[in-house]
């Protein structure tokens, strides 16, 4: 069994000077652009450079797994008949447990995909960091399933199961691992946070630190790196669009 980490969608954030890719933010373009401008007027760190720093932290966590990392949009088409190839789909700002490869080898049997426990690290608002367990991805209608980066799936499955953000209402047989093998980072620079009409305030250098749960102590250095970046962002509490 072979494994790859496949980044669903990403940009070279630090090379963007003037964001023109409307396809990435579709009809929410107005909110997103206004909020990016507000971010850049308010913080000591440019929005796109901040996103690149988050991507770099995620990259460190992926490299620790020893699993090859792929950014090829055509990867599935090239390998779709290979049932022995297992894909770990992720966004460009989320993290994996360093031992996930060996754990998958021991626990992923002959089913279409495997799902494990995931945690969320949330620091989007001014109050404090939050850490909480994430059992299932949930859509706007309340349907649940595997999602974000809490599953690995065989490459011979349907393309949308790999590139979409969740396997909502999927009926395929799956294996289950009762271990926290990934972290979904909820941060105020995410597209989903900036392209909506949000009223929450953020204040990156005054977010109260919370105790890191023992279940995810493997991610301590990544969390501390984010805290350090946020402290250097400078004071400003801003209300998004």
Tell me the pairing of strands 151-154 and 113-122: antiparallel
The answer to whether 177 touches 115, Cβ cutoff 8 Å, is: yes
Strand order in 144-147's β-sheet? 137-138, 144-147, 166-168
Fill in the DSSP letter of residue 209.
P
The answer to whether 67 touches 88, Cβ cutoff 8 Å, is: yes
Phi, psi of 103 (to 5 degrees): -65, -40
| Residue 146: per-residue pLDDT | 81
Tell me the pairing of strands 2-7 and 69-70: parallel
Please tell me whether the overall predicted TM-score, pTM, comes out greater than 0.75 for this model.
yes
| Residue 213: per-residue pLDDT | 95
Residue 182, Cα to own-chain centre: how many angstroms? 9
Query: What pLDDT tens digit does each residue of the chain (241 aa) get?
Result: 899 999 987 878 887 765 555 545 555 677 777 888 888 888 889 898 999 999 999 999 999 999 999 988 889 899 989 989 999 999 999 999 999 999 999 999 888 899 999 999 998 876 678 999 877 776 667 667 788 899 999 999 888 888 877 765 666 778 899 999 999 999 988 887 877 656 667 777 777 788 999 999 999 999 999 999 988 887 555 665 5
Fill in the DSSP letter of residue 208.
B
* CA separation for the pair 22, 20 (Å, rounded): 6
Cβ-Cβ contacts under 8 Å for 48 (sequence gap 6 or more): 13, 14, 16, 19
């Amino acid at each position: 069994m072979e494994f790859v980490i496949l980044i669903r969608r990403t940009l070279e954030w630090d090379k963007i000077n003037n964001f023109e890719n409307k396809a990435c933010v579709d009809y929410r373009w107005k909110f997103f652009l206004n909020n990016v401008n507000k971010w850049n007027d308010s913080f000591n760190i440019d929005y796109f450079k901040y996103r690149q720093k988050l991507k770099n932290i995620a990259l460190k966590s992926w490299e620790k797994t020893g699993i090859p990392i792929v950014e090829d949009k055509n990867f599935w088409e090239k390998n779709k008949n290979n049932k022995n190839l297992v894909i770990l789909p992720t966004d460009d700002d989320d993290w994996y447990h360093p031992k996930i490869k060996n754990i998958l080898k021991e626990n992923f049997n002959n089913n279409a995909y495997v799902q494990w426990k995931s945690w969320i690290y949330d620091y989007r608002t001014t109050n404090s960091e939050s850490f909480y367990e994430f059992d299932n991805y949930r859509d706007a209608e309340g349907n649940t399933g595997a999602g974000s980066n809490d599953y690995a799936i065989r490459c011979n499955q349907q393309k949308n199961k790999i590139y979409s953000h969740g396997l909502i209402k999927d009926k395929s047989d799956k294996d289950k691992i009762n271990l926290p093998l990934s972290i979904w980072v909820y941060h105020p620079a995410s597209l989903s946070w900036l392209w909506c009409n949000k009223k929450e305030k953020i204040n990156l250098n005054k977010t109260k630190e919370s105790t890191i749960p023992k279940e995810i102590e493997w991610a301590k250095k990544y969390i501390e790196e984010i805290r350090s970046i946020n402290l250097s962002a400078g004071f400003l509490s801003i209300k998004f669009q």
